[in-house]
Chains A and B, each alone.
Chain A
Amino acid sequence: MTDKREITLTVNGTERTVEAEPRKLLVHAIREDLDLTGTHIGCDTGNCGACTVLKDGEPIKSCLTFAVQADGSEIMTVEGMEDLPEASGELHPLQEGFREEHGLQCGYCTPGMIMSGKALLDENPDPEEGEIREAISGNLCRCTGYQNIVKSIEYAADELNKEPAAADGGTVTAEQRFADDDFDCGVENCCGGPSTETPHVEGADPQFDDVGGDDT
């Protein structure tokens, strides 16, 4: 085995070090060494974009990059989305968009789609449909036919463009909506909502149960 090298990555805002052989791909370092399995391995040939992460703010395919090549860079994965200020501690508007607009079926491509969407909206907050399609042209989806993915990103753009109005009392984020409420569902790390008079009982209404297992 060739000697391992110490690689420093700032992943979702936190500096991490990885000991890796030079041949280790960035996607393997992210998934296996850092245990961030939201980034998927799809085709493994650089075509499908399921492994898309942001490197220094730009979307790249982490299966076509050795981890050593990313040494010293800032990496953002889908796990970092909910920590962004726009997410208000919940789902990021892009993630919310994929839920609201049915932007996924099997969900395999979704982390990559979200990262490509994030890169687009960072650069172009109000994209035309054609620009969205161009931005996700390196991400393959075999379920949706792309229509709802485009709508999901449009949803996020609309939401993000609305948010500055919240300070003026225009649009209210979920966090603000529940801020005055001392609602607590009793679960450790309660998310703050949805508020209800009746205490939530696991299984009573499957809609509110933790479905789990979704990396997106």
Chain B
Amino acid sequence: MFPDEFEYERPETVDEAVDLLVDHPEAEILAGGHSLLPTMKSGLASPDLLVDIGHIDAMQGIDHADGTVSVGALTNYATVDDSPVMRENVTVFAETAHAVGDVQVRNRGTVGGNLAHADPASDLPAAALAADATMVLQGPDGERRVDADDFFLGMYATDVAEDELLTRIEFPARPEATGAYAKKPSPSSGYAMVGVAVSMTVDAGRVEDVGVAANGIMDHGVRLDPVEDALAGTNPDGETVATAATNAANDLDEMMMMDDLQASAEFRAQLLETYAERAITDAATGTGVVAAGPS
């Protein structure tokens, strides 16, 4: 499986990359390539030009300052997974990064590539929603900030314009919050048939702040508002969590749910409740355990 021929550019700075995107709006951006290469090798994509942003050092790494954790878009999953700053302040995102793919994939795949690609079965969109992430986009007119809630528009569709680059993702630092991600992986690909991310702060036995979001169920990552509402202010014991999770699909249009050979929409809706309950329970108990594998 050889990809078709393409022209190749390797900018060293964000500005150079944006200039290339302005001149070539049809170009594809190459970061870790772990979503792009499979589509190119299988002939699903044949871009004429790849802009390889992999050598832009300014888009690498994790910074923590003034209550904000900023993650460069080129930071790979393993770096996020292993980062004490992320584990402490954005637990849900670190837990979810650990659930992506396998060791080799986590060493090459980038968080920015994952979010900008917006695969509905990918893991990170739910974590970005649950952690109240802000996407920072750089275009010819400068920088623009988009809340995660406004970022994911559909299957492989985001708010990033053709001449824009996702340069970093910012999170409010929440050292007091616990986080968890629970997913039902596809037995063949490992992608999420359903995955639920939860970030939760409990104060004096009451849920003070909670974010709950899911992948795999709709054509893009979605926040599960009815579950968040049901949990707010409660003591998150087993019964409360189980009841809250029954609301998981309340706001979701069943006609628009993902429905394919792997899992029907009806089955995914069932999985959604189960995995919402597991993720919330893990977050409530502070274990943050990823429930991977058949169960």
Contact = CB atoms under 8 A, between A and B. Distances in A.
Contact of B104 (A1, A21, A49, A134): A49
A45 B103 contact: no
Given A1-B5, A22-B8, A64-B38, A52 B104 contact: yes
Interface string A10-53: 00000000000111010000000000000000001111010010
B103 A65 contact: no
A23 B36 CA distance: 12
Contacts of A116: 103-104
A49 B33 contact: no
Contacts of B2: 23, 25
A65 B33 contact: yes
A204 B33 CA distance: 53
Contacts of B10: 68
A46 B34 CA distance: 8
A61 B6 contact: no
B289 to A, nearest CB: 13
A127 interface: no
Chain A, interface size: which category?
20 to 34
B5 A45 contact: no
Contacts of A160: none
Contact of A23 (B4, B78, B105, B107): B4
Contact of B5 (A23, A61, A66): A23
A59 interface: yes
Contacts of B33: 64-66, 69
Given A23-B3, A45-B38, A138-B101, A60 B8 contact: no
A59 B103 contact: yes
Nearest to A44: B1
Given A23-B3, A25-B37, A52-B104, 6 more contacts: A2-B8, A45-B41, A45-B42, A65-B33, A116-B103, A138-B103
* Those 6 A-B pairs whose CB atoms lie nearest each other, nearest first: A138-B102, A22-B8, A58-B107, A138-B104, A61-B104, A23-B3
